[in-house]
A and B are shown apart, each in its own frame.
Chain A
């Protein structure tokens, strides 16, 4: 996947390039906001990773301009600010996700994959999601596996829905906390592990194959094979 990285700090940029390169991506780097905007306009990239603070043109304005030009390239903001409103600002400017520096490589990779998936998503909201013999109905909020009905609590349903929408892609703990529970801090207790283990108990236990897997050091993945 061709990715455009706009980041003025060369050490951070080198670091990110190393991570993305290792995951088999092809990264173009721009160190300046205006140059980055031109490169993004030229097209040919599957995703954009952009720092909030840039010389020339700041990241927020850059993405806002692209969106004004109907350029919908998936965009991930990076920031050193831990501002509570920064995330909302980033999403309002047209960003698809937001990551606070410093971050772990798996976190960056998982989020880049998640936003590129969003970019290709069908325009109509699906009514039903399937993974192997597991099927969830988003309207009736019901879950079936191998013809059996599975009862899930509201939170468990949201968790499963998020995993299925990201089927085949790693989702991190932080992504689950943000998207399933709207929690934007690092809890001290094992919230994610606990709820996932309960979900697995209902969805995977007693069925032939496991769908939800733990990816060590990264997060979780729902795979249909």
Chain B
């Protein structure tokens, strides 16, 4: 493994981190942390084996740690009112709006689902590879992927049907509005 092999992996890691964290600075910090982590973990990598998958695994663990520690602080893990989302999601016309919108919707997905969706759609990884990287069975990857796609579609389409259905269920609102 030489320097150029490692450097060749960085753009992909950056892009994945960018969508995973939703923030350019946080993304590059995550990539940096991943590379630093690699320094002390080389004994766990078999030379000649898949460098990319290994780096993505390191990054995944690093990110999971960050999420865990930030989950201990309050005001994270946002709940979303579907009607509010609808208001935000109407009138998608320009490409920029579309990108912003997709970004916003992605960030509404639970972290696990987002990771599965990105590794498959963005990085073209096999379900088995994703299972290895995220440390869960293939079945779990499949269900996360499935939920991520369905949820993203709902969010992107503003899902008026579902919102209407929710409005008619019982007398109490099913989702709670946050202050």
A associates with B: no
**Residues of A that sit less than 8 Å from B by CB:** none
**Residues of B that sit less than 8 Å from A by CB:** none
